[in-house]
Amino acid sequence: MKKITALALALAMALSLTACGGGDKSTPSGGNAGNGSNAGNGSGAAGGTNLSGLSVTCVVPYDAGGGTDAVMRGLADAAKGSFKNITVENRSGAGGATGMLYGAQAANDGSIVTMITVELATLEAMGNNAGLTYTQFKPIMMVNSAAAAITVKADDDRFDTLEDFIEYSKSNKVQVGNSGIGAIWHLAAAGLAKTAGTEFNHVGYDGANGAITDLLGGHIDAVAVSYAEVNSFVQSGDLKVLAVMANDRLEAIPDVPTCKECGYEAVLGTWRGLGVPASTPDEVVDELYRIFSEAAESDAFKEFMANTNNVIDIMDGESFNTMIGEQLELYTGLVEELDLKIG
């Protein structure tokens, strides 16, 4: 089995998926963990803040149509009865930094909630974060996690297996699309290439949807994105997944092997969650946690996530914040090992 030479990659890859399942759903996400302040009564947290009259904008730092956009829209729809109104706004650019910076610098009254992603750590690690740091946010909760899926066109007879793809790349330049340079899907493909002893030409987009569109058009050779983002095209017979960068096979595609089964020790994925500016009062964060955690537990959201092959993975804000800091340290080591530092 081919293994990457640095411990940093193994640790970062393992943490990306395994640490995501350890959150405590019952703990409020502000600085008041354990004080019971989010024991809501339907009209606001007990003794806390009532946000039912608030108009909320949920910021997605990527283009519409990708996995992050889909998860945010599904969750916003499930939470719509708790606010005066709730809308989703896409602010893409700089691998996610543009939208997340906007959210970090927004009003601290709960009216702007940002879908923060693993790029909050990876962009800073790579040095192309445009001034964005995870300490600018107060995380509310983690919502979702997903493994990378190495995907090609279904009619591309060059690649029937991951091994075909790897061997071809050793003597030909292959273009692998991702959701942005410095984004997790860029690191996923770079990590796989390093593990396999080959090189890919990485092509960045403002979200996975653009990469998938270009793959369908034959402009690039493959994408490294989540399975949920390519599921509909796999089902239609337009795309095929060669392997997933997970510890175990995905339930949705049980016949598709993991990279580990193919001989490449590569496990890497994303996470997505909600955050507000760091200066947001704890009582506002606690109430947002109550509202969105209830929405995440709703039958409507569970059905939406199941239908779109997305995994619900809840972690409270305090645990989420700790995990982001740990991942920044790990991805910094990974970026150095892969020689991907930009700034």
Q: What is the DSSP string of 178-221?
A: ESSTTSHHHHHHHHHHHHHT---EEEE-SSHHHHHHHHHTTSSS
pLDDT at 180: 87
Gyration radius of the chain's alpha carbons? 19
Give the side-chain half-sphere CA count within 13 A for 26: 3
Calculate the alpha carbon distances from 29 to 5, 106, 119, 167 in Å: 37, 19, 20, 47
Tens-binned pLDDT, residue by residue, of the chain (343 aa): 554 434 344 444 444 444 444 444 333 444 433 333 333 333 344 446 899 999 999 999 999 988 999 999 999 999 999 999 999 999 999 999 999 999 999 999 999 999 999 999 999 999 989 999 999 999 999 999 999 999 999 999 999 999 999 999 999 999 999 988 888 999 999 999 999 999 999 999 988 999 999 999 999 999 999 999 999 999 999 999 999 999 899 999 999 999 999 999 888 889 999 999 999 999 999 999 999 999 999 999 999 999 998 989 999 999 999 999 998 998 898 888 888 888 6
Calculate the alpha carbon distances from 134 to 45, 189, 328 in Å: 26, 24, 9
The answer to whether residues 3 and 266 touch, using CB atoms and an 8 Å cutoff, is no
Residue 53, amino acid? G
3-state secondary structure of 138: strand
| pTM of structure | 0.79
pLDDT at 303: 97
Length of the chain: 343
Contacts of 107 (CB under 8 A, 6+ apart): 277
Q: Using alpha carbons, select from 151, 202, 143, 207 the residue that is nearest to residue 177.
A: 202
DSSP bridge pairs for 201: 175
The answer to whether residues 98 and 90 touch, using CB atoms and an 8 Å cutoff, is no
pLDDT at 343: 66
CA–CA gap between residue 102 and residue 112 (Å, rounded):
9
The answer to whether residues 51 and 288 touch, using CB atoms and an 8 Å cutoff, is yes
Both structure tokens of 216: 């369908």
pLDDT at 276: 98
Q: What are phi and psi of 90, to 5 degrees?
A: -90, 125
Sign of torsion over alpha carbons 200, 206, 208, 212:
negative
pLDDT at 266: 87
How big, in percent rounded to 5, are the helix, strand and coil portions of the chain? 40, 20, 40
pLDDT at 48: 62
Both structure tokens of 111: 């009216």
Q: What are phi and psi of 322, to 5 degrees?
A: -60, -45
Both structure tokens of 13: 């890859």
pLDDT at 33: 36
CA–CA gap between residue 54 and residue 172 (Å, rounded):
55
Q: Which domains does the chain have, with CATH numbers?
A: 22-145+270-338 (3.40.190.150)
Report the DSSP pairing between strands 222-226 and 85-90: unpaired
Q: What are phi and psi of 31, to 5 degrees?
A: -80, 10
pLDDT at 49: 84
